């Protein structure tokens, strides 16, 4: 049976796709979801990685200096003084070397004693070779003249003046080796001073010997002593630089080095095949508060309009300056309360600023407010900003998200 004819165009209308320019509801919903997710992602990214780095160029000035200054020990310094302190270190090094020679020796015993002046308030000079006698009649002498201080009064009590010295046996030999004993001064016998001037041993008196010893050649001993001297010197210098407290400055020429005479490279037991050489050394190093040093020198070089009370400065190139202590050979850093030094070069003074205060001031501000904010800090000359993300027009609200970097001062 023939199929009934279809209405013209009906099928085509039923399968005809949506017309261009009229998106379906499902596609619009999809794109809306994607856009919302993207906006949320961008917002989260902006919040999570928000930050700003501000590179600040502080105020700085370079000015030549070739001047002598004075400083006082921290314990004695006044409000206007530059203060200094002292690091003190000791070390020693030993070397065992083959004993190649035998020789006859005579050595005098020696040790430390304390001389007391309980006679009156006046100082008393004791000349070179003044004798000191033990209860057993052994005589020891000082090799250099000394001045013994007079009596002093402390807390209402009169105390004798005193001084520590080295004494040497009147003759070589083991009989002069002794422990801690008291001494009289035979030169005062028969005078009122005899009962009031006396001495007491501080260390045992030792080293006296007469006999044969094993030793080394003079050339070998000199070579080893020089090597040990260099070794202890480098050890102390490295230790001194490592122990400089934060905020303090140590100049290489502010170091004092004292080497004790090396021990005798001798062995009394001639059956032994080696001898030992020991080198001892002590270091004293003068150190200054870095910022106080910079401010003190700047005040001497700059006018009152260029530097104000309360300014905080540092010297950017302090290692390039030439520092020297005046009459260094006469200075005793362990005792002296004043110090004169010269400074020569072209120091670059850099004014410091409070980084925490800068961050707090910038937090939440628009980037175009940077200049007005930093104008509140006289120690800052200019600054540059790098924000994250780059399109942010303001600084983070949280000050901890702001990083401050200081431009290198040349």
The whole-number pLDDT of residue 33 equals: 63
- pLDDT per position as a tens digit, 52-74: 999 999 999 999 999 999 999 99
Give the pLDDT band of residue 39 (cuts 50, 70, 90).
low
Give the pLDDT band of residue 287 (cuts 50, 70, 90).
very high
Is 365's pLDDT higher than 50? yes
Is 16's pLDDT higher than 60? no
Give the pLDDT band of residue 8 (cuts 50, 70, 90).
low
Residue-averaged pLDDT of the chain = 88
Is 3's pLDDT higher than 80? no
Give mean pLDDT, residues 246-261.
94
Give the pLDDT band of residue 106 (cuts 50, 70, 90).
very high
Domains (ranges, CATH) in the chain? 51-105+213-410 (no CATH), 109-207 (2.40.30)
Give the pLDDT band of residue 121 (cuts 50, 70, 90).
very high
Higher pLDDT, 236 or 38: 236
Give mean pLDDT, residues 329-357.
94
Q: What is the 3-state secondary structure (H, E, C) of the chain?
A: CCCCCCCCCHHHHHHCCCCCCCCCHHHHHHHHHHHHHHHHHHHHHHHHCCEEEEEEEECEEECCEEEEEEEEEHHHCCCCCCEEEEEEEEEEEEEEEECCEEEEEEECCEEEEEEEECCCCCCEEECCCCEEECCCCCEEECCCCEEECCCEEECCEEECEEEEEEEEECCCCHHHCECCCEEECHHHCCCHHHHCEEEEECCCEECCEEEEEEECCHHHHHHHHHHHHHHHHHHHHHHHHHCCCCCEEEEEEEEEEEECCCCCCEECCCCCCEEEEEEEEEEEEEEEEHHHHHHHHHHHHCCCCCCCCCCCEEECCHHHCEEEECCHHHCCCCCCCEEEEEEEECCEEEECCCHHHHHHHHCCCEHHHHHHHHCCCCCEEEEEEEEECCCCCECCCCHHHEEEEECCCC
The whole-number pLDDT of residue 312 equals: 94
- pLDDT per position as a tens digit, 220-232: 999 999 999 999 9
């Amino acid at each position: 049976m023939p199929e009934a004819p279809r209405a013209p165009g009906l099928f085509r209308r039923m399968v005809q796709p949506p017309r261009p320019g009229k998106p379906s509801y499902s596609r619009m919903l999809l794109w809306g979801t994607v856009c919302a997710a993207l906006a949320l992602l961008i917002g989260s990214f902006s919040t999570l990685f928000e930050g700003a780095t501000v590179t600040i160029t502080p105020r700085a000035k370079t000015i030549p200096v070739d001047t002598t200054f004075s400083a006082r020990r921290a314990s004695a310094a006044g409000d206007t003084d530059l203060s200094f302190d002292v690091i003190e270190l000791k070390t020693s090094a030993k070397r065992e070397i083959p004993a190649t020679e035998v020789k006859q020796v005579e050595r005098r015993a020696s040790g430390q004693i304390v001389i007391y002046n309980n006679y009156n308030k006046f100082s008393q000079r004791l000349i070179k070779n003044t004798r000191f006698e033990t209860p057993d009649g052994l005589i020891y002498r000082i090799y250099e003249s000394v001045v013994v201080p007079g009596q002093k009064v402390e807390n209402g009590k009169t105390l004798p003046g005193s001084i520590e010295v080295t004494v040497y046996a009147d003759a070589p030999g083991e009989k002069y080796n002794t422990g801690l004993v008291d001494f009289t001064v035979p030169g005062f016998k028969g005078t009122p001073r005899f009962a009031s001037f006396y001495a007491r041993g501080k260390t045992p008196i030792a080293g006296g010997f007469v006999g044969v010893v094993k030793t080394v050649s003079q050339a070998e001993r000199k070579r080893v002593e020089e090597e040990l001297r260099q070794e202890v010197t480098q050890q102390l210098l490295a230790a001194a630089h490592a122990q400089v407290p934060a905020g303090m400055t140590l100049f290489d020429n502010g170091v004092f080095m004292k080497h004790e005479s090396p021990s005798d490279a001798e062995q009394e037991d001639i059956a032994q095949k080696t001898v030992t050489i020991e080198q001892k050394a002590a270091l004293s190093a003068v150190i200054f508060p870095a910022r106080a040093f910079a401010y003190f020198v700047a005040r001497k070089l700059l006018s009152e309009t260029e530097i104000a009370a309360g300014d905080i400065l540092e010297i950017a190139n302090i290692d390039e300056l030439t520092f020297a202590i005046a009459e260094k050979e006469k200075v005793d850093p362990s005792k002296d309360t004043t110090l004169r030094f010269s400074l020569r070069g072209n120091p670059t003074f850099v004014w410091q600023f409070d980084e925490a205060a800068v961050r707090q001031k910038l937090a939440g501000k628009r980037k175009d407010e940077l200049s007005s904010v930093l104008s509140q800090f006289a120690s800052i000359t200019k600054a540059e900003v790098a924000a994250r993300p780059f399109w942010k027009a303001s600084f983070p609200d949280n000050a901890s998200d702001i990083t401050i970097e200081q431009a290198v001062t040349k």
